[in-house]
Structure 1
Amino acid sequence: MASEITPIVLSPNDAAKALSISRSSIYALMRNGALPWVQFGADRRIHIDEIKRLAIEGVPSAVKKA
């Protein structure tokens, strides 16, 4: 019986697909601190809980103006 592993971190590309927004929007959210991320070597990853939070709460208005 094969079981599928659920990812707990996503690449910026996968996060953009999950949220149906552009990759550049993901990088802008990461840059202005609205979307926390971690770095593994040269790769940036976003925790799935942060993706879910952003999908539910949206972007705070203070960040949208930045």
Structure 2
Amino acid sequence: MATATPPVYTETTPTITAVTPLLYRVEEAAEALRISRTQVYALIRSGALRTVKIGGSRRVPVAAVAEYVVNLGAAA
């Protein structure tokens, strides 16, 4: 009977924990940006905020929120 070899982790192996989100729900993105859900949906429609679709759910990558904020600073 063969036994499974456990994965080998190094210092360069990325770790993802349950408390490190990669995707926000629209409500969470609104909270992070301190704006309303309606404003988030307007940003999505205008193309200012990137999203991904998973099944029937719309999610906002955490990186997209950061990009949006950086672009706000660049436009000012």
Q: Give the shorter-chain TM-score range.
A: 0.7 to 0.9
Q: Comparing both chains, which one has the higher relative contact order based on Cα–Cα distances under 8 Å and sequence gaps of 6 or more? A: 1
> Which residue of 2 is the match for residue 18 of structure 1?
32
> In the TM superposition, what is the alpha-carbon distance from 1:57 to its structure 2 partner?
2.5
TM (norm. structure 1) is 0.76
RMSD: 2.0
TM (norm. structure 2) is 0.67
Q: 1:43 to 1:60 in 2, by over 3 A?
A: farther
**How many residue pairs align between the two structures?**
59
Does the 8 A contact of 1:37 with 1:45 survive in 2? yes
Q: 1:44 to 1:60 in 2, by over 3 A?
A: farther
Q: Which has the larger radius of gyration?
A: 2
Corresponding residue SS for 1:58: helix
Unaligned 5+ segments in structure 1 are 62-66
